[in-house]
Structure 1
Amino acid sequence: MSWKEKIAVITGATTGIGKATRELLVDRGVKVYNLDTTKPADDDTRGEFIPCDVRKVQDIKDAFSAIIARETKIDMLFANAGIHLFATMEQTSDEDLDNLININIKGTFYSVREILPYMKAQKRGSIVLMGSDQTFVGKGSSSVYGMTKGATGQLTKSTAIDYAPYNIRVNCICPGTIDTPLLDRAVTHFATINGVEEAGVYESLNAVQPWGRIGKPQEIAAVVAFLLSDENSFMTGSLVSADGGYVCQ
């Protein structure tokens, strides 16, 4: 397929999987808009940056309106922005709970809801939501994070059904444990509240993967790019594992 003249929006594309996907799409010729609260480093010039907090509906409305005014269309959305937390229910504060729900569930919902009218008018579009291996399975010390990713899976399926008549595909990428700043922060939090060494946590994470290691952001970006692409013409409502074999155990 030709990637040139395609317009993509990625939420949370300053670091991690979002950044890797942004870089890959730009390298293929896509014009990518990064909606994030944090601006990329000065030497990170791939893509266009728009300050946006996905917890705030007006931020998302303003960002999409600005992109449409400039480009007249949006072909792809990767609703990637999210946070992680290693914690049992008793270790999860009310603030933690609110942050996870507001970013992982509401932020994803708002982003998709606001872009759908534009894609309906175009009669085409491709959307990928950020799920997790925990869209499929449970893990210890991850009750609220897992809850948000289970919700994302159901949002994918229902939205795919509702918008298939408009030629809008909606799929969900479900990564396993990936080497990102998001993981680093979660490991630090887990190690602190449990009084263990961070190095030991990383060793445990590697050990439970059938592939023998955690994943790289670029490995997930490659799958996301396919899901967004025109080559993926008959997949919608799919929850796609990219986890080194974790959930097939």
Structure 2
Amino acid sequence: MEKKVVLITGGSSGLGKSIGTFLKDKGYTVYGTSRNPENVEGTPFPLIKLDVRDAESIKAAIAELIQLEGRVDVLINNAGVGITGPLEEIPASEIKNNFETNLFGPIEVMKAVLPHMRSQKFGLIINVTSIAGYMGLPYRSVYSASKGALELITEALRMEVKSFGITITNVAPGDFATNIADRRYHAPLVKGSAYEESYGRTLQMMNEHVTSGSNPNEMAEAVYAIMKDPNPKVHYKVGAFMQKFSIVLKRILPDKVYEKLLMNHYKL
């Protein structure tokens, strides 16, 4: 049987690199993407130049992949950026950049691969969202919103393309030990700001959660299991038990009770 061709956006580091390495070892033909692949070393699979914020870059990258392999069987929409800060103090330009990367970019990549998957009568798209996308988290409002929106886009698009033999699913990771904290936008701690003390405390807590996060290979194994499943679910959550359980609590608890739990957790 011909090897399935997998494209992973944001495959040069972090979860994307871990997933790609794992799948390559399992025998898949793997390609990753990077805005500057010429500057990346140590990736065991080829990288294609792609900036998810640029529609022409997306079209060129998919065209290159089709020229190389003649098909695209699995798209893993992994490229994304973090952002933290009091909403009042986050520049509009950074909010727009986050949505361009975490929401509009994945949408455009899906639009670029769907015609090819439709002609093959087969395709799997896995959108990497976040457990944070299931709830509004203090000082992560923009990140929660962009990832939550991608979850809902996936739910709708999944129904639109099912008759073409294409499956779309979400996988929402919790905190994993990657370099995402180094690459995300942090609204600066402003001396004398009304949010200085609480934001500073929350920012330190968030960074500690990433540093002590789960092994990225857990995410790779979860993605591999989804790819092997002939009938993937709509949603998957991957992470520590309490992170996944927090979604259950949100569903069953009254809103104000759940809000109080979050505020106690973040010491607000």
**TM exceeding 0.5:** yes
Q: Could you say which residue in structure 1 is the equivalent of 2:223?
A: 224
Identical-residue share of aligned pairs (%): 24
Q: Could you say which residue in structure 1 is the equivalent of 2:209?
A: 205
Q: 1:130: Cα distance to partner?
A: 1.2
Match of 1:240 among 236, 240, 256: 236
What is the one-letter code of the residue matched to 1:239? H
Q: Could you say which residue in structure 2 is the equivalent of 1:215?
A: 214
Relative to 1, partners in 2 of residues 1:20 and 1:45: Cα closer, same or farther, differing over 3 Å? closer
8 Å Cα contact 1:35-1:51 kept in structure 2: yes
8 Å Cα contact 2:178-2:210 kept in structure 1: no
Q: How many residues align?
A: 238
Q: 1:206: Cα distance to partner?
A: 7.3
What is the one-letter code of the residue matched to 2:223? V
Once residues 32 and 61 of structure 2 are traced to their aligned partners in structure 1, the CA distance between those partners, rounded to angstroms, is: 10
What stretches of structure 2 of length at least 5 have no aligned partner?
191-195, 247-268
Q: 1:51: Cα distance to partner?
A: 1.1
8 Å Cα contact 1:14-1:38 kept in structure 2: no
Once residues 150 and 206 of structure 2 are traced to their aligned partners in structure 1, the CA distance between those partners, rounded to angstroms, is: 26
In terms of fraction of residues, the more helix-rich structure is 2
- The structure having more radius of gyration, on CA atoms, is 2
Q: 1:66: Cα distance to partner?
A: 1.3
- The secondary structure found in structure 2 opposite 1:140 is coil
Q: 1:92: Cα distance to partner?
A: 1.1
Q: 1:73: Cα distance to partner?
A: 0.9
Once residues 198 and 94 of structure 1 are traced to their aligned partners in structure 2, the CA distance between those partners, rounded to angstroms, is: 22
Once residues 248 and 40 of structure 1 are traced to their aligned partners in structure 2, the CA distance between those partners, rounded to angstroms, is: 41
- The secondary structure found in structure 2 opposite 1:170 is strand
Choose 75-84 or 217-226, whichever is displaced more: 217-226
Q: 1:198: Cα distance to partner?
A: 10
Alignment deviations for residues 155-197 of structure 1 (CA, whole Å, 9 cap, x no partner): 11111101111111111110111221112344x8368454748
Moved over 4 A (4+): 40-43, 190-200
What is the one-letter code of the residue matched to 1:201? M
- The secondary structure found in structure 1 opposite 2:103 is helix
What stretches of structure 1 of length at least 5 have no aligned partner?
208-212
TM-score normalised over the length of structure 1:
0.87
Q: Could you say which residue in structure 2 is the equivalent of 1:124?
A: 122
Q: Could you say which residue in structure 2 is the equivalent of 1:51?
A: 49
TM-score normalised over the length of structure 2:
0.81
1:126-141 aligned within 5 A: 126-141=124-139
Once residues 157 and 241 of structure 1 are traced to their aligned partners in structure 2, the CA distance between those partners, rounded to angstroms, is: 15
Relative to 1, partners in 2 of residues 1:124 and 1:15: Cα closer, same or farther, differing over 3 Å? same
- The secondary structure found in structure 2 opposite 1:46 is coil
Q: Does 1:22 align with 2:20?
A: yes
